[in-house]
Structure 1
Amino acid sequence: MGITLFASFGVLLVTAVPIGIALGLSVMIALLLDGGMPLEFLMKELTTSVNSFPLLAIPFFILAGEIMGRGGISKRLINVAESIVGSVIGGTALTSIVTCMFFAAISGSGPATVAAVGGIMIPAMVSKGYDRKFATAVVASAGSIGVIIPPSIPMVMYGVSGSVSIGDMFIAGIIPGILVGFGLMIYAYYYSKKNNYLGNGKKVSIRNIGREVWNAKWSLLIPVIILGGIYGGIFTPTEAAAAAVFIGFIIGVFFYRELKLKDLEDVFIESALLTATILVIVGTATAFGKLLAMEQIPNKIAESMLSLSSNPTIIMMSIIVLLLIVGCFMDTIAAIIILTPILLPVATLVGYDPIHFGIIMIVALAIGFITPPVGVNLFVGAGISGISLEVLSKAILPFIVVMIIILLIITFIPTLSLLLL
């Protein structure tokens, strides 16, 4: 059955079948050919796998991101970022990255971050003389921070799949997410200096920073409430997601007055479509993973990996290479559901903390957001800027290298993930 699962899944992916449908069809094919289990198995998993209180955080964070993206929050975060780094060489590119870091602490989604920030910053960079390919690559790569800095939808999935505290995962992602952002900023500065992309010509002013921070105070308060509430034990991550929706709505409608009641229909439709897509993947990936577990495939893979070497470094490097390859072809949510039961036991056997390994896994799969053919951020960025996916894929290669270097630093310095716990 295992061979049938992987073979049919591979063929369906190659033929460009959407990931959730490909997973479900491969399960159906395996069940039909094996004949030992009824097709009702798939139907049962599709319903029971999403019947989970922690998973309620996903639609709430998606809805919160949509509300905040339309409620004027993005513009104010951009103004704060520009007041801090806008005067530096490559200031507009650096502003884009810092804004993505801010928005990551609100949305929990890579594509949502690219859409919210890129719609404003890519045209702004192009208007100031930045190469369109570079401008798009900056936002697309920085958007991947959306799943590293908490709150993060993939972290919710890892917590559920690996029976790990979602709150601890959120806290552990703060320093690695900031580190990835700084890494991207260093390369953006280098490229901008090489190509003479100047800053905005304004001097950095504490008064100006203070004014922009004050204007964006409600936007900046959102991640403080979410993370502070979780870390302080006031509410669970799921309850925090619901609180984010409520706070974002109040700020967008009553404080900034940019979110109109007539906009809510579109907000709900977009959120429902994205939520449905993710939950279909969750259900089919869970069924796929259950069949693998019944065939003892996770145990066999773990044993084979451990038999290759007893050196933790070699084993972890093998895992990272596997995750980077999988990220090119598989949706992050599906990869987490399927691979966590396989790889987490291997990582813990060679001495890696489950929280630390979760961060490694999230960062490695976040790189998949900007690697073709599945890189979702590439599609969103290309759609905004109007350049082809092939051109963008070449322009983003240096950013991928930077993120891999940061991934290795996070992997071999566990303190970066565990310091705040």
Structure 2
Amino acid sequence: AACLLAALSGSAVADTAALAALLLPMMVAAGHDKARAGGLIASAGIIAPVIPPSIGFVIFGVAANVSISKLFLAGIVPGLLMGGAIAVAWWWVAKRENVRPPAKASWAERGEALRASTWALVLPVIVIVGLKMGVFTPTEAAVVAAVYALAVSMLVYRELTLAQLVQVFVSAAKTTSVIMFLVAAAMVSAWLITVAQIPAQMVDLLQPFMGNQTLLLVAIMVLVMAVGTAMDMTPTILIMTPVLMPVIKAAGIDPVYFGVLFIINNAIGLITPPVGTVLNVVAGVGKMRMDEVTKGVLPFMLAQFIVMFLMVFFPILVTGPARWFAN
């Protein structure tokens, strides 16, 4: 569910809010521990910045001057691996709970659910196939997705009224304005960083690791992990990208591969206290304390970190599927 929703929005906060509002009451009613269920939902929500149409990839692509299309295609398999990792972690955690499994839906009910959701499920297929076939650029894909979602919401499902449409436009304008202000401020910061020769100093600082790309990436990932505990995702991307990209280029690391790792790390930062934006969303929706959600998310956070470092040590997990999708 998280992977499918991620392919529709690209926003960790939006996905988490939707998943928490829908699934958390159901999981609690089924007998699952509320904090653990909230932790699962939080860790599932952070898949959104990795699976296209990822907002994180768009911001990184602009800041690093890297192909957003390649980032989108490279993020598909890592996002699915993240989903698989938390599924395994949930299986390991849930088997210790004495929870009676719910009654299985009949094939007729499953067929009806599939029929009702077909229009929504087609959207990520349109985006991914369109990007792979070169039908449209990432910017054009966003327009296509928005128009398609608007048409389906108003004409097929009839869940969006004209009055609500105005609110949607206002909300989108506010969100876009905030992002543009952040981008503008980041451009100033990038100029100051360049003038202060911080990238050159960073290259010198990491010079001992330059001979080994894996060790260099481990060092950078640890650095980003530390930053992610104190900063939200978008500011981290905009501030750290101009600092780290010269190091990545000097070491000969594929910028697309690094971009995937960088965004995954920043996404995990969304469930890392004390800031933990996504944790705050789950705590707010589920009416829980922050420490409860933090405790509940730990096994799933560990699973996500394991996936990330597997990609560091085995780049083929990212570069292999990326090359296949690009061809």
Q: TM-score, normalised by structure 1?
A: 0.73
Aligned to 1:115: 17
Match of 1:295 in 2: 196
2:268 is matched with 367
Aligned residue number for residue 126 of structure 1: 28
What is residue 146 of structure 1 aligned with on the other side? 48
Aligned in 2, Cα 1:211/1:203: closer, same or farther, shift over 3 Å? Answer: closer
- Rounded to whole Å, the distance in 1 between the matches of 2:21 and 2:84 is 22
Contact 1:222–1:244 under 8 Å retained in 2: yes
Tell me if 1:272 matches 2:173.
yes
- For the Cα contact (< 8 Å) 2:37–2:296, is it kept in 1? no
Q: How far does residue 276 in structure 1 lie from its aligned partner after superposition?
A: 2.3
Do residues 333 (structure 1) and 238 (structure 2) align?
no
Tell me: higher relative CO, structure 1 or 2? Use CA pairs within 8 A at least 6 residues apart. Answer: 2
Task: Tell me how far 1:204 sits from its aligned partner.
Answer: 7.9
Distance 1:178 1:188, change over 3 A: same
SS of alignment partner, residue 149 of structure 1:
coil
- Alignment of 1:172 onto 2:74: yes
Whole-angstrom distance in 2 between the partners of 1:197 and 1:323: 38
Deviation at 1:342, TM superposition (A): 2.1
* Residue 201 (structure 1) shift: 2.6
CA distance in 2, matches of 1:295, 1:351: 24
Q: Secondary structure at the match of 1:259?
A: coil
Runs of 4 or more off by more than 6 Å in structure 1? none
Distance in 2 (CA, whole Å) between partners of 1:229 and 1:309 is: 38
1:242-253 alignment to 2 at 5 Å?
242-253=143-154
Alpha-carbon deviation of 1:203? 6.7
Match of residue 6 from structure 1: none
Shift of 1:341: 2.3
Give CA-to-partner distance per residue, 1:292-350, whole Å, 9 cap, x none.
11111111111211135633222111100001111111221221222222222323333
- Could you tell me whether the CA contact under 8 Å between 1:301 and 1:342 is conserved in 2? yes
Q: CA-atom RMSD, angstroms?
A: 1.7
Instruction: Please tell me whether the aligned partners of residues 7 and 51 of structure 2 are also in contact (alpha carbons under 8 angstroms).
Output: yes
Contact 1:192–1:198 under 8 Å retained in 2: no
Say if 2:140 is the partner of 1:260: no
The Cα shift of 1:286 comes to 1.9
Counting only pairs closer than 5 Å after superposition, residues 18-417 of structure 1 correspond to structure 2 as 99-202=1-104, 205=107, 209-307=110-208, 310-417=211-318
Identity of aligned residues (%): 36
Measure the CA separation in 1 of the matches of 2:209 and 2:304. Answer: 27
Q: Secondary structure at the match of 1:221?
A: helix
Residue 80 of structure 1: aligned partner: none
1:6-32 Cα distance to aligned partner (Å, 9 max, x none): xxxxxxxxxxxxxxxxxxxxxxxxxxx
Q: For 1:146, give the aligned amino acid.
A: A
Contact 2:40 2:90 in 1 (8 A): yes
Matched residue type, 2:66? V
User: Structure 1: which 5+ runs fail to align?
Assistant: 1-98
Asked whether the 8 Å contact 1:302–1:342 carries over to 2, the reply is: no
C-alpha contact (below 8 Å) 1:327/1:365 kept by paired residues: yes
Distance 1:197 1:247 in 2: 40
Q: Could you state the TM-score of these two structures normalised by the residue count of structure 2?
A: 0.93
Opposite residue 197 of structure 2, the aligned amino acid is Q
DSSP 3-state at the match of 2:288: coil
Q: Structure 2: state its 5+ residue gaps.
A: none
Q: Tell me, what secondary structure is at the counterpart of 1:370?
A: coil
8 Å Cα contact 1:323-1:365 kept in structure 2: yes
Q: Is the 8 A contact 2:261 2:312 kept in 1?
A: yes
Shift of 1:267: 1.9
